[in-house]
Structure 1
Amino acid sequence: MSPEQLLKQRVYRLTFGMVVACYAAFTLDFPLSNLILVLAAKFLTVPAAPSLKGLLVLVISLIIMPLLFSAFVMLFGFEPQIMVIMLSLILMWFYYLGTEQKFVLLATFGIVFLVLISFFGVLNGVAVTALTENLIKATFIALLIYIIAHTFFPEKRQDFQLPASPYSEFARALIAIKSVIVLLPLLLFYLYFLPSHALLVLIFSAMFLMQVSTKESLKALKLYFIVNIVSAIFAIATYELFVMIPSLIYLMLFMATVGIYFGREIFIGSKLGKVYAGAIAGYLVLFSGLALSNDNSIDTKSWDRLIQILFACSYIVIVAHSLERWLFRRWKTKFADRLGLNESA
């Protein structure tokens, strides 16, 4: 298979998966069905044939993580001080994992699941069990779509070695600490003040921070900020069009167009591939969450989500860059011998 044929195969596979996941998300009537579209698209942005070991690890993590988080909320949900400490430690662990490319997918799902379950635990501890069941159901359907997409659009299995993290263990720990310092005030604000549709904004923000947590230059942060805000505007504009043309066929054709265009950008090997992969996930989180919400007033308030996302992402960029400039730059001088790059990077 030539490079051009391989590129087409991957683009068609992503597009097929997004269309099927869109149909499933909008026809299966259960809470969190919108995550089918988000998770299936996220799985399919990984340019590699699935292995039995990889699928097994993914299945176990997608079952074990929600169950553990559910138990965590049931234990500490009524003790906010303890819950915040535990939440910070778990978030730190996931952001630490996210600094190594082979764990990015697992870390992203872990953060999304943690935010979902902990948020609902604060709102309604009784609903956590039902939420966990629906979360596991959505992930199983997304995995099934992922396997079917690879069955129809296969590629030769090969040793696909992701590059090792360019950061030392100490540097990865500092990046994780910085990420939690940035995200925790935002998380606490939304947990305790509960503005409308805070969950969508929190998930979008947590995924955005996963992208920018290892970016140090202001230029890189600006690029990620602009691309993600454009994806949020695109998501709300898509939703407004869907309100005017509430047709599933139209929506599936639209998703096919998105898959073809962004798939090529993601898999062609350009420097912006990772940015587009992150942005499309944020786009799908916001759009699917808006479109499948039970809130009848969402049409008039959808642009409020954009204002909240603009505020949250601006906060993340400003605070992350400020910490890098005023605190972590000093730490780099103080701990220079422990912050070296890996030789393999």
Structure 2
Amino acid sequence: MTALNPQQLLQRRVYRLTFGMVVACFAAFSLDFPLANLILVLAAKFLTIPAAPSVKGLMVLVLSLIVMPLLFSGFVMLFGFEPQIMIVMLSLLLIWFYYLGTEQKFVLLSTFGIIFLVLISFFGVLNGVAVTVLTENLMKASLIALIVYVVAHIFFPEPQQDFQLPASPYSEFVRTLIAVKSVIVLMPLLVFYLYFLPSHALLVLIFSAMFLMQVSTKESLKALKLYFIVNIVSALFAIITYELFVMIPSLAYLLLFMATLGVYFGREIFVGSKLGKVYAGAITGYLVLFSGLALSNDNSIDTKSWDRLVQILFACSYIVIVAHSLERWLFRRWKERYGHRLNLTKAN
């Protein structure tokens, strides 16, 4: 393939994301099976990575999409009926994923690992018998999303290059500390929703877990506020566009709208600005909530959609306040005590 100048490369990446979102949206709304909405969420998440897929990367994705749901399903079948044991195991798995998420090359794996874990754990508590069916649907949605991702790259390819994501700027000790802090913040929220509001908590849980991954490495209140505002705006936007979709239930209108989103967000994500990651997280959060609402079988979902926004506002506010408080009051003391081990950059 001939080399592309920066403007051509940006244009191709925007078109690829837009094409993938439109095709994934059509598949999600045309195929009738539970969790079909994740086709759109995962395909968009895959396509926010600005690089041509490698054989090794595709193999890792395929193995992850097949092996992880099976492992989590077995985990829930073993511990789902022993809540105390399940909570401990769930915490350990979440620590591992948030640890991986502090390094860019593992962000994708960590993101849908957390989504899978929350989904399967939720249904394990709600209905252990349904876990097997859930796992099958989850794997189906994931593989369709992966096919959309590959097809989008076939139609809108870019030159293969030695694309090396930067290594984590944190030492292993700091990464572990960040992961522990993330789980300390998330677990009370997770336990509360899993055991007290199982009928309409799933979207809020996934949205909150993904939001926490964005803010887990941010220490300044200014950065936390930025992520909080952007994610709440994306949630509000998801509710509004869902209400419009209810008034105009046309698939053609929805596909046109997704194309518009793809063009706008694609430019913001791939242009190379500092806010690219914020926009990538925002569009994923938006798609989680919008697609989950639009494809839900709950007849009362229209009346509950704004209730979900209130819950997301509460959950994200809780995450920002507790994460900042922990950083300020607990981890600052840990930094003083373990200052010799908390180098923010790895030793060469």
User: Which TM-score bucket, shorter chain as reference?
Assistant: over 0.9
For 1:300 and 1:213, the matched residues in 2 are separated by: 32
* Distance apart, 1:344 and its partner CA: 7.6
Residue in 1 that maps onto 2:274: 271
* Distance apart, 1:283 and its partner CA: 0.2
**How is 1:8-23 mapped onto 2 (pairs within 5 angstroms)?**
8-23=11-26
Residue in 2 that maps onto 1:93: 96
For 1:195 and 1:73, the matched residues in 2 are separated by: 16
| 1:119 to 2:117 alignment | no
Residue in 2 that maps onto 1:220: 223
For 1:140 and 1:90, the matched residues in 2 are separated by: 23
**How is 1:1-345 mapped onto 2 (pairs within 5 angstroms)?**
1-194=4-197, 196-343=199-346
**TM-score, reference length from structure 2:** 0.98
For 1:226 and 1:195, the matched residues in 2 are separated by: 27
Tell me, yes or no, if the aligned pair for 1:167 and 1:340 is still in contact at 8 Å.
yes
Q: Residue by residue, what CA displacement relative to the aligned partner does 1:284-312 show, whole Å, maximum 9, x if unpaired?
A: 00000000000111111110000000000
For 1:344 and 1:102, the matched residues in 2 are separated by: 19
Give the share of equivalent positions with the same residue, in percent. Answer: 84
Query: Tell me, which stretches of 5 or more residues in structure 1 are unaligned?
Result: none
Root mean square deviation, CA, Å:
0.9
Query: Tell me, which stretches of 5 or more residues in structure 2 are unaligned?
Result: none
SS at match of 1:317: helix
For 1:275 and 1:243, the matched residues in 2 are separated by: 28
Aligned partner of 1:271: which letter?
A: K
For 2:346 and 2:309, the matched residues in 1 are separated by: 42
* Distance apart, 1:343 and its partner CA: 4.9
Tell me, yes or no, if the aligned pair for 1:96 and 1:175 is still in contact at 8 Å.
yes
* Distance apart, 1:122 and its partner CA: 0.3
For 2:39 and 2:281, the matched residues in 1 are separated by: 16
Tell me, yes or no, if the aligned pair for 1:97 and 1:104 is still in contact at 8 Å.
yes
Aligned partner of 2:175: which letter?
A: R
For 2:205 and 2:94, the matched residues in 1 are separated by: 13
Tell me, yes or no, if the aligned pair for 1:164 and 1:344 is still in contact at 8 Å.
no
Tell me, yes or no, if the aligned pair for 1:74 and 1:125 is still in contact at 8 Å.
yes
Tell me, yes or no, if the aligned pair for 1:117 and 1:128 is still in contact at 8 Å.
yes
Runs of 4+ in 1 over 4 A off after TM superposition: none
* Distance apart, 1:342 and its partner CA: 2.4
* Distance apart, 1:341 and its partner CA: 2.4
Aligned partner of 1:222: which letter?
A: K
